[in-house]
Structure 1
Amino acid sequence: MNQVLRRLDEYDQLKAENHQLNQSLAAAEARIAQLEAQFETQYADPTPIGAMASKYASTSTDPPTTDTSPVKDTWASRTKKNLPKKKFSTKQVETVARTFATNSKTHGFRYVYIPSKFRMKTKEIRSRLRILGFNNSRILDVHYPDRQIVALLIHNDYYDELTTLLAKHTIQQIKDFNPRDPMCLRDPKFETLAAKDRQQQADQLHVERLERAINFIRAPVKFAVARSFHQQQWLSDSHLQSILSRTELTTTPPDNPFLTNDDDTNVRRMSITSDTSTQTNANQISDQ
């Protein structure tokens, strides 16, 4: 009996709490409705007056499109303002200026041969030449055509300046050196060849050195170098035509490609017609 009475009391207590919660919920809903009504009244559009009251006035309620948001002051924006302007070295400016210069009467290329006590890598040779004041951007190719002899490929316009520096450092130019001399064949396997065959081998090795140099020179200078070699009878017609046809950048085929001046031709893109991959010009400009 006591248990039944206890459960009845709990039921009456839960009923009273439920009634109280319903009243609180009703009061909260009424308060919300009151606040919503006040908000709509306070922020409602004002009554249009003057021109805005005209029936022809725009009814658009979109805000003005003028962007009044402040510019974001970030670290990136501050750094961008304070970035220094790129400065170009004297050598870079001179190199660009030569692009628009007219051809000189001495237009062409030549090799200058100087002695070397021991064999060095191309990078080391250029480093030493730079220390002595030589302009590496004017030296297009460096290689060893024979023992203790270094060949420097330059434009004829740089010849006077280069020889002046050679004299300044008491470096004797080897003027009577012949890169196609059979005496340059140091491999013992050529010793038993006849004089005619030895000359053919010397000529072939010389052509291979020239082609290797041309492959490392960037266009369009390489075309002018190849034609200069052809004019010096170092490259045959077929060799020159082969070089021009397998390069990535080549000129529009003229009537006579062997006499065309590369400064007057229209350079255009063409697909590579050989399996030779494009290589970085290790003997090109290293000081710009």
Structure 2
Amino acid sequence: MAAARTFSVRSANHGYKFLYLPLRRRLPIGQLRSRLRQLSINTRRVLSIHYPDRHLVALLIYNDYEAEFYPLDLRNLDYSDWDEANRTSVAHGLFLCCILHVLDYLKGSVKRAVAKFFANKGYIDRNELPEFFSIKKA
């Protein structure tokens, strides 16, 4: 890898950038790198990880690598021959499945509050999933 860099042209966007991501709790660096790998993020491109504040992690990456963090890009080889519109559609479907799984796990008023949040963000449609929204009686 280092030998190949010797013969490559320096990019116009050369440099580094910190990506700040929210984190529920501080994890050991090795465990955090393992979780990033589970999300198909190339941890060799993450130069440094540190915790600047509570509930916040900073990843030092190359400027050129920032575009690869695009969340609608499925890195699954099963979808590599699909066009971008179909991959985006599948990514939205998988994201909706994750949301529904979360909502099934939650109970009572917390479930309704989270469902309302997701609906306000436009992630789910109130009309398609009325069981998550309380109906006000007149």
TM-score (norm 1): 0.24
**Which of structures 1 and 2 has the larger relative contact order (alpha carbons within 8 angstroms, sep 6+)?**
2
Say which one has the larger Rg: 1
TM-score normalised according to structure 2 size:
0.49
